[in-house]
Amino acid sequence: MCAVENLPPRPGLQRMSDPVPDADDLPPARPALARALEARYGLLAASAGSLSCGDALGAAAPLPGETVIDLGCGRGGDVLRAAALVGPTGLAVGVDGNEAMLTKAREATAGTPGAWFVQGDLAAVPLPAARADVLISSCAVNHAPDKAAVYREIHRLLRPGGRFAVADVVSEQALPDEVRSDPAAWAACYGGAIPEREYLEAIARAGFSDVRVVRRTAPYERGGVRVLSITVVGTR
Ligand SMILES: C[S@@+](CC[C@H](N)C(=O)[O-])C[C@H]1O[C@@H](n2cnc3c(N)ncnc32)[C@H](O)[C@@H]1O
């Protein structure tokens, strides 16, 4: 699960400077990472446990009439809540790469006006540019080998003046090679974590302003490494 805050370490779960690199230099091979994500989230789609970290939706505080995109929406809980906040004149769009997650999300929001879903990659979203007022994401960007590319995509999707709020997992230190190259560790929401400073620099380089961390957990252990979750906001 990615609801890692305040949970005790689970050793059985072991299994993703300047200048900031655009992509992790030792990610698992893309097909292996895709298989690990598919296996993990195909199963978790049927579970009821929380997959979130931080409070992206609360930090974004969507208003009536706004258009919200949730990147890596999972089973659609935040899309459902966002649809209620934006009301009948707004729109809440969930994006996820996992078909089983999207099926669950569509079931969860059936009959909710203004909630809909598209399948896509975090760094290549099949939606038009500059239409969203708000972009949220919870515990998904850590899975992407190229965080900077994801933030460039977030920048593309938001209208000028639009805002994002992303909750995600970062690491205390650069992770050891054996973790950074382990697809199962990436799928389990810690192998792809990069140090917070690098993460924030990638956001700034995508062109955002007013970038701030509004929530930060205490560091905790996953798979023998120290990570934490942050909720970060910024404006296009
Ligand atoms: C930890 S879950 C979080 C789900 C949801 N945001 C929540 O808080 O409950 C991560 C989600 O990101 C999706 N995901 C991971 N990597 C992705 C990628 N490269 N493209 C699209 N979705 C991805 C997974 O399918 C999964 O649904």
Ligand 1 pocket, mutate which of 70, 99, 101 (most atoms under 8 A from CB):
101
How far is the C-alpha of 117 from the C-alpha of 129, rounded, in Å?
Answer: 16
How far, in whole angstroms, is CA 111 from its chain's centroid?
26
3-class secondary structure, 157: helix
Residue 177 sits at φ, ψ, to 5 deg, of -55, -40
How far is the C-alpha of 65 from the C-alpha of 52, rounded, in Å?
Answer: 25
Give a yes or no: residue 12 inside a domain: no
Residues 75-117: pLDDT tens digits? 999 999 999 999 999 999 999 999 999 999 999 999 999 999 9
Give a yes or no: residue 215 inside a domain: yes
Mean confidence (pLDDT) of the chain: 91
147: nearest Cα among 101, 73, 189, 200? 200
pLDDT band, very low/low/confident/very high, at 17 (cuts 50, 70, 90): very low
Give a yes or no: residue 15 inside a domain: no
Q: Which residues of 9-27 are buried (b: 16+ CB within 10 A; e: fewer)?
A: eeeeebebeeebeeebeeb
Closest-CA residue, ligand 1 atom 16, reads 143
How far is the C-alpha of 157 from the C-alpha of 75, rounded, in Å?
Answer: 22
Give a yes or no: residue 18 inside a domain: no
Give a yes or no: residue 21 inside a domain: no
Give a yes or no: residue 108 inside a domain: yes
Residues 47-56: pLDDT tens digits? 999 999 999 9
Closest-CA residue, ligand 1 atom 8, reads 52
* pLDDT for the residue 27: 83
Closest-CA residue, ligand 1 atom 2, reads 51
Q: Separation of 118 CA from ligand 1 center, angstroms? A: 13
Ligand 1 pocket, mutate which of 37, 71, 119 (most atoms under 8 A from CB):
37
The answer, yes or no, to whether any atom of ligand 1 lies below 6 A from the CB of 2, is: yes
Q: Separation of 110 CA from ligand 1 center, angstroms? A: 20
CATH (domain of 117): 3.40.50.150
How far is the C-alpha of 63 from the C-alpha of 77, rounded, in Å?
Answer: 17
Structural domain range at position 219: 27-235
Residues 160-189: pLDDT tens digits? 999 999 999 999 999 999 999 999 999 999
The answer, yes or no, to whether any atom of ligand 1 lies below 6 A from the CB of 74, is: yes
Strand-strand pairing, 91-96 and 158-171: unpaired
Q: Separation of 113 CA from ligand 1 center, angstroms? A: 23
* pLDDT for the residue 63: 98
Q: Separation of 12 CA from ligand 1 center, angstroms? A: 22
In total, how many domains does the chain have? 1
CB-CB contact of 115 with 49 (8 Å): no
Give a yes or no: residue 13 inside a domain: no
Give a yes or no: residue 142 inside a domain: yes
* pLDDT for the residue 4: 40
* pLDDT for the residue 22: 60
Ligand 1 pocket, mutate which of 24, 50, 51, 157 (most atoms under 8 A from CB):
51
